[in-house]
Amino acid sequence: MAKTAKKASPKAAKTAFKPKPRPAAAPGPAPSSAVLDRLWSVVMERRAADPSVSHSARLLQRGTAKVAQKFGEEAVECLIEAVAGNRAALVGESADVLYHLLVMWVAAGVEPAEVWAELQRREGISGVVEKASRPKVLMGTTKIP
Protein backbone atom coordinates (compact mmCIF):
# COMPACT_ATOMS: atom_id res chain seq x y z
CA MET A 1 0.00 0.00 0.00
CA ALA A 2 1.41 3.38 -0.99
CA LYS A 3 1.86 6.02 1.67
CA THR A 4 0.14 9.32 1.14
CA ALA A 5 1.90 12.55 1.96
CA LYS A 6 0.51 14.49 4.88
CA LYS A 7 -0.87 17.88 4.01
CA ALA A 8 0.63 20.80 5.87
CA SER A 9 -1.75 22.69 8.09
CA PRO A 10 -2.73 26.19 6.91
CA LYS A 11 -0.83 27.64 9.88
CA ALA A 12 2.34 25.72 8.97
CA ALA A 13 2.09 26.91 5.37
CA LYS A 14 1.93 30.54 6.52
CA THR A 15 5.04 30.25 8.69
CA ALA A 16 7.12 28.14 6.31
CA PHE A 17 8.25 31.03 4.12
CA LYS A 18 9.12 33.73 6.63
CA PRO A 19 12.31 35.57 5.69
CA LYS A 20 15.28 34.88 7.93
CA PRO A 21 16.35 37.75 10.18
CA ARG A 22 19.38 39.65 8.95
CA PRO A 23 22.54 39.46 11.02
CA ALA A 24 23.57 42.55 12.97
CA ALA A 25 25.74 44.98 11.06
CA ALA A 26 29.47 44.78 11.63
CA PRO A 27 30.96 47.51 13.85
CA GLY A 28 32.60 50.45 12.11
CA PRO A 29 31.53 52.50 9.10
CA ALA A 30 28.62 51.16 7.10
CA PRO A 31 29.63 49.29 3.94
CA SER A 32 28.99 51.23 0.76
CA SER A 33 29.34 50.97 -2.98
CA ALA A 34 32.59 52.96 -2.72
CA VAL A 35 34.26 49.64 -1.97
CA LEU A 36 33.67 48.73 -5.64
CA ASP A 37 35.64 51.75 -6.81
CA ARG A 38 38.48 50.86 -4.42
CA LEU A 39 38.46 47.23 -5.55
CA TRP A 40 38.54 48.30 -9.21
CA SER A 41 41.61 50.44 -8.41
CA VAL A 42 43.31 47.47 -6.77
CA VAL A 43 42.59 45.26 -9.79
CA MET A 44 43.98 48.00 -12.06
CA GLU A 45 47.17 48.09 -9.97
CA ARG A 46 47.49 44.31 -10.05
CA ARG A 47 47.55 44.17 -13.86
CA ALA A 48 51.31 44.53 -13.69
CA ALA A 49 51.76 42.23 -10.69
CA ASP A 50 53.36 38.80 -10.75
CA PRO A 51 50.65 36.27 -11.71
CA SER A 52 52.15 33.77 -9.26
CA VAL A 53 51.23 36.04 -6.34
CA SER A 54 48.17 37.93 -7.66
CA HIS A 55 44.92 36.25 -8.60
CA SER A 56 43.84 39.38 -10.48
CA ALA A 57 47.06 39.42 -12.51
CA ARG A 58 46.67 35.69 -13.27
CA LEU A 59 43.10 36.21 -14.50
CA LEU A 60 44.00 39.25 -16.58
CA GLN A 61 46.97 37.47 -18.14
CA ARG A 62 44.58 34.86 -19.54
CA GLY A 63 42.67 37.44 -21.60
CA THR A 64 39.18 38.87 -21.71
CA ALA A 65 37.51 35.67 -22.94
CA LYS A 66 38.80 33.66 -19.96
CA VAL A 67 37.93 36.46 -17.55
CA ALA A 68 34.40 36.52 -18.99
CA GLN A 69 34.16 32.73 -18.67
CA LYS A 70 35.20 32.93 -15.00
CA PHE A 71 32.64 35.70 -14.43
CA GLY A 72 29.96 33.45 -15.95
CA GLU A 73 30.94 30.54 -13.70
CA GLU A 74 30.72 32.77 -10.63
CA ALA A 75 27.34 34.13 -11.77
CA VAL A 76 25.98 30.58 -12.11
CA GLU A 77 27.22 29.72 -8.61
CA CYS A 78 25.44 32.83 -7.33
CA LEU A 79 22.21 31.78 -9.05
CA ILE A 80 22.44 28.28 -7.58
CA GLU A 81 22.73 29.66 -4.05
CA ALA A 82 19.83 32.06 -4.63
CA VAL A 83 17.57 29.27 -5.87
CA ALA A 84 18.68 27.03 -2.99
CA GLY A 85 17.75 29.78 -0.53
CA ASN A 86 21.23 29.73 1.02
CA ARG A 87 21.49 33.37 2.08
CA ALA A 88 25.01 33.23 3.54
CA ALA A 89 26.41 31.49 0.46
CA LEU A 90 24.51 33.93 -1.78
CA VAL A 91 26.23 36.86 -0.06
CA GLY A 92 29.65 35.24 -0.58
CA GLU A 93 28.97 34.30 -4.19
CA SER A 94 27.63 37.80 -4.86
CA ALA A 95 30.94 39.24 -3.67
CA ASP A 96 32.72 36.82 -6.04
CA VAL A 97 30.49 37.94 -8.93
CA LEU A 98 31.19 41.62 -8.25
CA TYR A 99 34.95 41.00 -8.02
CA HIS A 100 35.00 39.07 -11.30
CA LEU A 101 32.81 41.72 -12.96
CA LEU A 102 35.39 44.34 -12.01
CA VAL A 103 38.21 42.16 -13.35
CA MET A 104 36.23 41.82 -16.59
CA TRP A 105 35.82 45.62 -16.76
CA VAL A 106 39.58 46.04 -16.33
CA ALA A 107 40.26 43.44 -19.03
CA ALA A 108 37.83 45.20 -21.39
CA GLY A 109 38.95 48.76 -20.58
CA VAL A 110 35.69 49.78 -18.89
CA GLU A 111 35.84 52.27 -16.02
CA PRO A 112 33.29 52.12 -13.18
CA ALA A 113 32.34 55.77 -13.81
CA GLU A 114 31.03 54.73 -17.25
CA VAL A 115 28.74 52.15 -15.69
CA TRP A 116 27.64 54.47 -12.89
CA ALA A 117 26.81 57.13 -15.51
CA GLU A 118 24.73 54.63 -17.49
CA LEU A 119 22.87 53.60 -14.34
CA GLN A 120 22.28 57.26 -13.51
CA ARG A 121 21.01 57.89 -17.05
CA ARG A 122 18.48 55.08 -16.60
CA GLU A 123 17.43 56.16 -13.11
CA GLY A 124 13.72 56.95 -12.92
CA ILE A 125 12.98 55.43 -16.33
CA SER A 126 10.62 52.49 -16.47
CA GLY A 127 12.48 49.29 -17.34
CA VAL A 128 9.95 48.61 -20.08
CA VAL A 129 10.40 52.09 -21.58
CA GLU A 130 14.20 51.93 -21.30
CA LYS A 131 14.40 48.53 -22.98
CA ALA A 132 12.07 49.69 -25.79
CA SER A 133 14.38 52.66 -26.44
CA ARG A 134 17.38 50.42 -27.16
CA PRO A 135 18.32 49.58 -30.75
CA LYS A 136 16.71 46.39 -31.99
CA VAL A 137 18.83 43.25 -31.68
CA LEU A 138 20.50 42.36 -34.94
CA MET A 139 20.20 38.87 -36.37
CA GLY A 140 23.05 36.62 -35.41
CA THR A 141 23.62 38.08 -31.94
CA THR A 142 23.35 36.02 -28.81
CA LYS A 143 21.70 38.69 -26.67
CA ILE A 144 18.39 37.60 -25.15
CA PRO A 145 15.59 40.05 -26.10
Contacts 24+ apart (CB under 8 A), 74-77: 74/100
Report the alpha-carbon distance of residue 34 to residue 38 in Å, rounded: 6
Ordered structural domains, the chain, with CATH: 35-122 (1.10.287.1080)
Q: For 113-131, what is the mean pLDDT? A: 87
- Quote the pLDDT of residue 44: 96
Burial of 59-97, coded b for 16+ CB within 10 Å and e otherwise, reads: bbeeeeeebbebbeebbebbeebeeeeeeeebeebbebb
89-99 confidence digits (pLDDT tens): 999 999 999 99
Angle at 129 between CA 112 and CA 94, to 5 degrees: 40
Residue 63 reports pLDDT greater than 50: yes
Residue 144 reports pLDDT greater than 60: no
SS3 138: coil
31-40 confidence digits (pLDDT tens): 788 899 999 9
Report the alpha-carbon distance of residue 90 to residue 96 in Å, rounded: 10
DSSP tag of 31? P
Q: Say whether pTM exceeds 0.85.
A: no
Q: Which of 13-17, 80-84, 126-130 has the lowest mean pLDDT?
A: 13-17
- Quote the pLDDT of residue 134: 74
